[in-house]
Amino acid sequence: MSSKFNTFSINIRGQLIEIARPWVMGILNVTPDSFYSASRAPGNEEIATRVRQLVSQGADIIDIGGYSSRPGADDVTAQEEYARLKRGIEAVKAIAPEMIISIDTFRADVARRCVIDDGADIINDISGGDLDSCMHATVAQLHTPYVMMHTRSTPATMQQHCDYPHGVTADVIASMGQKIDHLRQLGVCDIIVDPGFGFAKTLEQNYELLNNLEEFHLLGLPLLVGISRKSMIYRLLGTTPEESLNGTTVLNTAALLHGCHILRVHDVAQAVEAVKITSALTRNYEYKPLYTQI
């Protein structure tokens, strides 16, 4: 059984854009150490190649990361993170100027520079504001859509914080609800929620959360799911991130059937196929390209 797909509109560059069917967010990691090696694009040539691939496969958004959040990853200074993000933004704008650009950062100053100086459109914060107390106020000042992910502590220690007294689904929703209220009080209009698969959750809790995904619609906001090639797939199957594409597609399809609005993925072509097939299966929406010029 599939969940009804709820349509939302978000403000991108002063224009209301309707999320009338699930969007695919392609990952561009301008890093040397992201957990999935094939997603790394540290140099300018690799960045351009990766951007062209994401565009040609039908990405609706490109999410640029300059700081790996995997446990054990090297720390990156704010200046280095910004420099990486800037290179990614410049490549996307040169190759696909109409593309919606998301920047994956938990640092408010980095987010501000990327939006004001470089033209990024969305802030994607894996900490939901917990790692930088200025982030929520910054988002309010920038009037930028904000992806608020759930996690606890830092990437280095998050797996030590998986205790949810009322159950993972109820506690995650309650935590996000409190932050949503705070953001609303600050005047933030466009919030996208991400349950944070793989962040401060055990293997079993990740699957419980996905099975209960429809409950997140109670928050009344667009829902982003980022499962791509994560350990909840390869640990369960005894494989590796490189062998996790099929498992990713299975779980992305499950998320679509539960009514998610954005899939954050390494493999755009397969995710687009999942959206098209789910469209035909459920008839909840019609697949149409988001862009006419790309």
User: Do residues 146 and 139 touch, judged by C-beta distance below 8 A?
Assistant: yes
C-alpha dihedral sign at 219, 126, 171, 215: positive
Helices (H), 122-267: 135-142, 168-186, 203-211, 231-237, 245-257
User: Do residues 161 and 152 touch, judged by C-beta distance below 8 A?
Assistant: yes
Strands 8-12 and 15-19: antiparallel
> Helices (H), strands (E): how many in the chain?
9, 10
C-alpha dihedral sign at 34, 36, 42, 44: negative
Hey, which bits of 60-116 come out as E strands?
Answer: 61-65, 100-104
Residue 188: alpha-carbon gap to chain centroid: 18
Four-CA torsion 273, 144, 112, 43, nearest 10 degrees:
10
The upper half-sphere exposure of residue 116, i.e. CA atoms within 13 Å in the direction of its Cβ, equals 10
Length of the chain as a residue count: 294
Would you please indicate which residues are annotated as catalytic (active-site) residues?
230, 264
